[in-house]
Structure 1
Amino acid sequence: MTRTRQLLTAAMLTTAVGTGSMAYAQQATTPVVFSELSAPSADVTPQPEYIKALARSAYVWGWPMVNQMNRRAKITLAPQPGLLGGIIPVAPQGQIGMLHDYIAPDERFVVCPNQDVVYGLGFFDLDKEPSVIQVPDFGDRFWVYALYDQRTDQFGELGKPYATKPGFYLMVGPNWNGEVPEGITGVVRSSTSLANAVPRIFQNDTDEDRAAIQSVINQVVAYPLSQFDGKMKTIEWNKLEDIPNPEKQGDQETGWIVPEKFFDQFPAMLDMVPPLPGEEAMYAQFRWLIGLAAKNPDVKKLIAEEAVATEKEVIAPFFQWKHNGKPAGSGWHRSVNNAQWGVDYYDRTGTAKSNMFDNRPNETQYFYTDLDSSGTQLEGSKNYKITFAAGETPPVNGFWSLTLYNEHHFFHPNNLKRYSLGTKNTTLKLNDDGSLSLYAGAKSPGSEKESNWLPAPEGTFSLYIRAYWGKEAILDGSWQPPKIELIQ
């Protein structure tokens, strides 16, 4: 702390408590060494309710990071890059797998998938060995590589919004201090050793663009630094053999957290993720809790039971959009602090449950709702109209879309194979006044409106707007989503 800041702080404290407290004010500005502070004793026997309260706090806070740890363990079992079960891009640690078209509707790796982009996915241990990720020349096509640390914060800036140049980008961990070889275009550093990459490359919904994008995405490749030779590597993603998936796909997202096992994994996560400034005390409390559980079977049993209860009572409700982000008008909510959470543990955990792997707000703004304009749950047995006034579709530099999800936040299979509408669609019809009306419901709104229709399941569903690389009205919140009108 600078002398100026010390004096200012002292002056403010003196004003608040009176001149007689000047000595206290000066003392309060003296930096405190955390390691010198008292910590809970390992020999105490705390009451069960205290243990449960601390365990609940640890579970909610640590849920996204244990989630990331378990995803990496699963995805990196792949023997080589490819599609697991023909659906999910997977790869060994240090590499990525790529789709060659939109994600399939039976994907269950992550909720709220996107059918505007071609996805990639890979996980890394960047302190063990950095990885190189290639950036081809995408031309005018929108693209962004979202790179996440274990906290699910993004690191690095690779994409169209950043005017990133083609080349080779080295992803390194927080403790890596090796030599950067000649030929590397740039270096991006993760705050944690565990990291993952989710490339997103825009694709129009036409056969012509599906063909045109192949040569570009074939150069979206990542590999360990030891394999770097300065030459652009190519993988023909649409020609790889699928990797068999022995696990049956259910209706819901893969269960990445087993509550009963959470506190068995929690200590490793604490070791992997360094505390942010101000989190040291919290880490000390959590480590104390783990220490008690390690030597007391009753405490271990109690925190496992509390994990189960917290999953049901705290985590599960985050699936409702009213518990995500903040109100955005007309019954919608919008994401807050996405992929740059800091200490916003509320939204970090909420997003990890409901729609993990958001982009940063400047890259993508998300709007979502379960309700129509009257506040009633959306039901496929009814028909709805969503009208953007002339010139009032989401103002973006990239693209926008409206996606329909079933009750589990996945696509609803339908004969049209249509799950979203927006910039990618060339057949949308405008109204006579230049406005755009989109329709949602289980029944077609009629042949003349079918190009603008999102088929819904008979039961409940959600709507979700993405605004990629939004303009100022998106960023400052002055643009609001349209009302969802019940028409039948």
Structure 2
Amino acid sequence: MRSRPSPSGPARRVAALLAVAALVLATACSGDDAADAPPRATAPTPTTAEETPPMTDAELAAETYVAGYPLLVSTRTLQRFGGLIGVNGLFWQTALSGPETRVIVAPNQDTLYSIAVLDLRAGPLALTVPEIPDRYHAYQLLDTWTESFAYVGTRATGGRAGTWVITPPGWEGEPPAGTHQIEATTPLVFLLGRFLVDDEADIPHVLALRDQISLQPLGALTGDTDAPAPPPLGDPAGAPQAIPTDASAFTELGAALDVVAPTTPAQRDLFARAEAAGIVGRDGAPPTADPALLDEAAQAGHARIGRGAAGTGGATGWSAPGRVGTYGDDLDQRALVARIGWGANVPEEAVYSVARTDGDGAPLDGSVPHVVRFPADARPPVDSFWSLTAYGPDMFFAANPQGTYAIGDRSPALTEEEDGSLEVVVSHEEPPPRADGTPRPWLPVPEGRYVLMLRLYLPQQAAIDGTWTPPPVEPVG
């Protein structure tokens, strides 16, 4: 049975939620045998020392908060989406995000999303995708610890047709002949598909693909229809980005650990020590440690994550969170990205940079015209496409009469200068035309403060390793 859009909730509300991939930064490369199995992203070398010095209970609790923060964000996010669209069925975004998209920050206008909450506690699921040779697409599989562990799509599997059987941890069965197994690292997984869309007129072409893409229980392929329904996900304790900063965080963490086990040796060791110290309870039991100690530890852990978020700015005003999507035992980086960009992919799929100041360090303000100039020999190095998007200071689209919120290499309005460079005027007021009377490429922004995001899809190595960086946003005149 082919997966269909869920009727749960108003369509506009759910479409807005699909912008959850807002700050994503994405996937790994494929070789000639990509169709045989989607490559796993390569994890960085663990940063945890072999011998961890003894910690006080307060230090251990703060470390536990940082380590558990991504799990709490993911659990709340999956519960939230599961309540809206159900589990184990695909839901498709059917319209581009706009100013009304105000649930998850930084929506984009480059892709339509196809998403699902996978609950593998009831058994494996089969994702079937047709050959899609001429449209960028990627299905990202994100585990509950925010690890991007597998991909299916243009780069990861070459756009080839196939069926991928997504199996829970510890599954000992055999996938059907002719299918490809993806071993999930946690029993709960977020499946996030992105499909390139050029404009409103292109949307029907993308939506035509949904009749050829299915997500179904493995039993639908094998004839075994007796698979039980997964247990309820439950209701989220709060908003994903409002993780508590008191002792209740550790109670919530214990409940999450009852469902999702740690996946790295450092995680297992840390949470075992935390349980022994009464910092987290298991099997429904509350923590037994001093609540005042846990309150202080939660505040210390939250502040530690916040310090990382405050330190992501670059010298040119552009910032990027560095290596994301796979984290090994780097607890701080994992928690930081869960806070500022949950759902992040590895950079081989996409690199995202954000600017809040111009090249002189002044905050970006629409009352001052700026220009982003890409020299002819230094355009964004991509194998797919790139876009420059403007947001209000709250990271949502600020409505403008033109209805223009992004410009990029697919935009008809982005024409070359005489020297072959690309110049985008970023301003509240429409800029004067060029000397020859042709309109200048223009990205409208609010009259006051605004933020820019540069997205590079399938970036080349120069963008991944930082050899190429975005040019400063320069004031005009």
Counting aligned pairs with the same residue, the percent is: 28
1:437 aligned residue: 423
- Is residue 464 from structure 1 mapped to residue 459 from structure 2 by the alignment? no
Which one of the candidate residues 226, 246, 262 is aligned to 2:219?
Answer: 226
For 1:443 and 1:55, locate their aligned partners in 2 and report how far apart those are by CA, in whole Å.
52
The equivalent position to 1:216 in structure 2, one of 209, 212, 216, is 209
Q: What are the within-5 Å matches in structure 2 for residues 314-393 of structure 1?
A: 314-316=304-306, 320=310, 322-323=311-312, 327=314, 330-393=316-379
User: Aligned to 2:162, which of 161, 167, 170?
Assistant: 167
Pick from 395, 404, 411 the counterpart of residue 409 of structure 1.
395
Tell me, in whole angstroms, the C-alpha distance in 1 between the residues paired with 2:395 and 2:71: 21
Q: 1:110·1:254 contact (CA, 8 Å) conserved in 2? A: no
* Contact 1:169 1:186 survives alignment (8 Å): yes
Q: What count of residue pairs does the alignment treat as equivalent?
A: 405
Q: 1:108 to 1:149 in 2, by over 3 A?
A: farther
- Kindly state the Cα deviation for residue 377 of structure 1 after the two structures are TM-superposed: 2.1
Alignment of 1:171-190 (within 5 A): 171-182=166-177, 185-190=179-184
The amino acid across from 1:210 in the alignment is I
Correspondence list, 1:198-213, <5 A: 198-205=192-199, 207=201, 209-213=202-206
1:468 and 1:454 map into 2 onto residues whose CA distance is 20
| 1:307–1:212 distance in 2 versus 1, CA, 3 Å | same
Paired with 1:141 and 1:306, the residues of 2 have a C-alpha distance of 48
The residue matched to 1:340 in structure 2 has which SS?
A: coil
- Offset of residue 109 of structure 1: 4.6
Distance 1:443 1:167 in 2: 49
Aligned partner of residue 443 in structure 2, secondary structure: strand
Question: Is the counterpart of residue 266 in structure 1 residue 253 in structure 2?
Answer: yes
Aligned mate of 1:300, from 291, 295, 307: 291
| Contact persistence 2:76–2:240 (CA under 8 A) | no
Q: For residues 299 and 451 of structure 1, do their structure 2 counterparts lie closer, same or farther at Cα, with a shift above 3 Å needed? A: farther
Give the TM-score, by structure 1 length.
Answer: 0.74
Superposition deviation, residue 282 in structure 1: 1.4
Does the CA-based 8 Å contact 2:168-2:187 persist in structure 1? yes
Please name the residue that 2:10 is paired with.
none
Which aligned pairs between 1:101-116 and structure 2 lie closer than 5 A? 101-116=95-110
CA change 1:450–1:151 in 2 (3 A) is farther
Aligned residues of 1:70 and 1:256 also touching (Cα < 8 A)? no
Map residues 418-429 of structure 1 onto 2, 5 A cutoff: 418-429=404-415
Cα 1:58/1:400, change in 2 over 3 Å: same
> Is the CA contact (8 Å cut-off) linking 1:130 and 1:225 kept in structure 2?
yes
Paired with 1:317 and 1:106, the residues of 2 have a C-alpha distance of 31
Deviation at 1:156, TM superposition (A): 1.9
CA, structure 1 residues 301+169, in 2 after alignment: closer, same or farther (shift >3 Å)? same
Say which SS state the counterpart of residue 398 (structure 1) adopts.
strand
Q: Find the aligned partners of 2:61 and 2:401 in 1 and give their Cα distance.
A: 47
The amino acid of 2:451's aligned partner reads S
Q: Which residue does the alignment assign to 1:27?
A: none
Work out the CA distance in 1 between the residues paired with 2:387 and 2:292.
47
2:245–2:295 contact (8 Å) kept in structure 1: yes
The 1:450–1:437 alpha-carbon spacing in structure 2 relative to 1, beyond 3 Å, is: same
How big is the alpha-carbon RMSD for the aligned residues of Structure 1 and Structure 2?
3.2
Q: Between Structure 1 and Structure 2, whose CA radius of gyration is higher?
A: 1
Q: More displaced, 264-273 or 432-441?
A: 264-273
The 8 Å contact of residues 323 and 350 in structure 1, kept in 2 or not, is answered as no
- How far the C-alpha of 1:67 sits from its partner, in A, is 0.6
- Greater shift, 159-168 or 146-155, is seen at 159-168
Q: Distance in 1 between matches of 2:309 and 2:444?
A: 22
Tell me which protein shows more helix as a share of its residues: 1
What is the CA–CA distance in structure 2 between the aligned matches of 1:38 and 1:413, rounded to whole Å? 52
In the alignment, the residues of structure 2 paired with residue 211 and residue 68 of structure 1 have an alpha-carbon distance, to the nearest angstrom, of: 31
> Aligned-pair distance for 1:400?
0.8
How big is the shift at 1:443? 2.7
Distance 1:274 1:350, change over 3 A: closer
Q: What's the offset of the Cα at 1:168?
A: 1.8
Pick closer, same or farther for the CA change 1:421–1:290 going to 2, 3 Å: farther
- CA gap of 1:277–1:438, structure 2 versus 1, over 3 A, is same
Q: Give, in angstroms, the shift of residue 200 of structure 1.
A: 0.6
2:381–2:462 CA contact under 8 A, matched in 1:
yes
Q: Which amino acid aligns with 2:402?
A: L
- The alpha carbon displacement at 1:229 in A equals 7.2
1:66 CA displacement: 0.8
With normalisation by structure 2, the TM-score equals 0.76
CA offsets 1:170-222 (integer angstroms, 9 cap, x no match):
1112122234234x531111111111111011111252x22322212443432
Residues 419 and 450 from structure 1, CA distance in 2 versus in 1: closer, same or farther, beyond 3 angstroms?
Answer: farther
CA shift in 2, pair 1:70/1:121, >3 Å: same
CA distance in 2, matches of 1:292, 1:197: 29
1:128 and 2:122 aligned = yes
What runs of 5+ residues in structure 1 fail to find an aligned partner? 1-33, 41-45, 79-90, 231-252
Query: What one-letter code is carried by the residue in structure 1 that aligns with 2:144?
Result: Q
For residues 317 and 442 of structure 2, the distance between their equivalents in structure 1, rounded to whole angstroms, comes to 21
Aligned to 2:27: none
Secondary structure of 1:156's aligned partner: strand
How far is 1:73 from its partner?
1.1
CA contact (8 A) 2:355 2:452 kept: yes
Q: How far, CA to CA, are the matches of 1:351 and 1:38 in structure 2?
A: 24
